Amino acid sequence: MRSFFYLTFSLILLCCAQTLLAQDIITLKTGKEIKAKVLELNDQEIKYKRFENLEGPQYVLQLSKVLKIRYENGFEEVFDVPTSPEEPMVVSDGQIEPLPFLAPQIEIDAGIGLPLGNFALTSGEDAGFARLGFYTNLSGTLPISRSIGVNFMVSYHSNALDRGDFQNSFFSGLTADFKSSTVNGDYNSFSFMPGISYQGSYQRLFVRTGLNLGLNALTVPDYNFSWVLPQTVITTRYEYRPQTSIGFSAMAGVKLLYPLSKGHLSFNLNTLFRANTVTYDVKNIVGTFNFSETVESTKNVDSNAIILGIGAGYCFLF
């Protein structure tokens, strides 16, 4: 009976020893040990699978991070490669996926710009009469940690004007003959905004949120309208010529990033808030066939906008 016990115990120890010997041990320069199955080794990197999950993803580790490897047969290999700032990367289906904010990035995206709030209203004193437009963003991001990056964004937004309702609003409540009006231009703005981003990952998807604050340069439509008083030949004409307005911009956004080629395909949802005061140079011309009088003045009008952007783009890694 005692012999049977010793035999069983010896077999268990042998199995455990073989299991321990069947794994490779990668020791990093930080002292951390990784139980692995080394698949490939070259002058720059090590490809391996985690020993606890041999059916799982393949990993790539920069050799500059490795102190030594102890193989399953007991052989030990020590490396003396200069340390690199790079971190491990995951390989899935043969494609390398950098971990969050591993390197500087440049992204361009574009999509539709949906006006919201007063900016989209087509009646009332605060109505913006804006229609569906488009946007384009160009941004660069520098990582300051694995999850946080600082960026600078240039954002262009363009929204057309609902000219019919806008022109009809000139004559609301006015009794007049021979009404006429013209409108030229759209709402166009360039925003220049530094910001901060946070990025996390879920399987092959990265999720990034960000907030940017800055200034914008806004141009708005110019317009004219005129009318003739009933039963007279007296014509009244107004000409509004807007100046370029410098105002405040803020953008909050969330995007999904999917690895594609040497970068990431992005799907974006963002909201731009824009606050401006537009100064108009106004000419009021009153006259008949024989005479006219012109009065020049300026008028300040608040022009605030909320624009929901939905689009897609591409993120280049460097």
Residue 296 has pLDDT above 80, yes or no: yes
Q: Is the model more confident about 45 or about 246?
A: 246
Confirm if 188 and 226 have CB atoms less than 8 A apart. no
H-assigned helices in 172-313? none
Q: Specify the pairing of strand 222-228 against strand 177-184.
A: antiparallel
**Average pLDDT over every residue of 277-284:** 96
Paired tokens of 113: 């710009």
pLDDT one-digit tens code per residue, 46-61: 999 988 888 888 888 8
27 bridge partner residues: 33, 68
Q: Parallel, antiparallel, or unpaired for β 148-159 and 133-143?
A: antiparallel
Query: What is the mean predicted confidence (pLDDT) over 309-318?
Result: 93
The torsion defined by the Cα of 240, 246, 250 and 251, in degrees rounded to 10, comes to 70
Residue 59: Cβ within 10 Å count: 20
Residue 39: Cβ within 10 Å count? 14
Q: How many CB atoms lie within 10 A of CB 203?
A: 9
Three-state SS string over 273-296 comes to EEEEEEEEEEEEEEECCCCEEEEE
Model pTM score: 0.70
pLDDT digits (tens, 9 = 90+) for 170-193: 777 777 778 888 899 999 999 999
Q: Where are the beta strands (DSSP E) in the chain?
A: 24-28, 33-41, 45-50, 58-62, 66-70, 76-78, 89-92, 95-97, 105-116, 133-143, 148-159, 177-184, 187-202, 205-219, 222-228, 235-242, 245-260, 263-287, 292-317
Per-residue confidence (pLDDT) for residue 280, from 0 to 100: 96
CB 265 within 8 A of CB 257: yes
**Top mean-pLDDT range of 4-8, 99-103, 142-146, 238-242:** 238-242
Residue 84 has pLDDT above 60, yes or no: no
DSSP calls for 118-159:
GGG-SSSTT---B--EEEEEEEEEEESSSSEEEEEEEEEEEE
Tens digits of residue pLDDT in 135-172: 999 999 998 887 899 999 999 999 998 888 887 787 77
Which pLDDT band holds residue 279 (cuts at 50, 70, 90)? very high
Residue with the bigger pLDDT between 270 and 143: it is 270
Q: Hey, what CATH class is 105-317 in?
A: mainly beta
Domain boundaries, the chain: 2-97, 105-317
What confidence category does residue 288 fall into, taking pLDDT thresholds of 50, 70 and 90?
Answer: confident
* Tens digit of each residue's pLDDT (9 = 90 or more) over 12-38: 444 444 444 468 999 987 778 899 999
Question: CA 51, CA 72: separation in Å to the nearest integer?
Answer: 11
31 DSSP assignment: S
pLDDT score of 295 more than 90: yes
